[in-house]
Amino acid sequence: MLSAACGTPIEARAAIVFVDLDDYNIKQMPTDVHVTTRRRLLGWLRSLPDAASSETVEEIFSRARISTTWRAS
């Protein structure tokens, strides 16, 4: 829906972030979602490559905040 509203493919990454958990053990990290804690989140986000310019991020954000973006056609 966001891709349609922006007129270009929008990619997103899923994350599960534990807020009040200092540590955890995962036998195998899922391939389609990153699992982390609140304290490790910023490091993970900074490790990701830049995917869009600031202007593009602002445009995507402006479209994402419009409620009609999320209505099925």
* 59 is a domain residue: yes
Closest CA to 13 of 51, 39, 40: 51
pTM across the whole model: 0.64
* 19 is a domain residue: yes
Check residue 14 and give its pLDDT: 93
* 49 is a domain residue: yes
How many structural domains compose the chain? Answer: 1
Per-residue pLDDT 10s for the chain (73 aa) are 999 999 999 988 899 999 988 777 888 888 999 998 898 899 999 999 888 889 999 999 999 999 999 998 6
Contacts 24+ apart (CB under 8 A), 35-38: none
* 72 is a domain residue: no
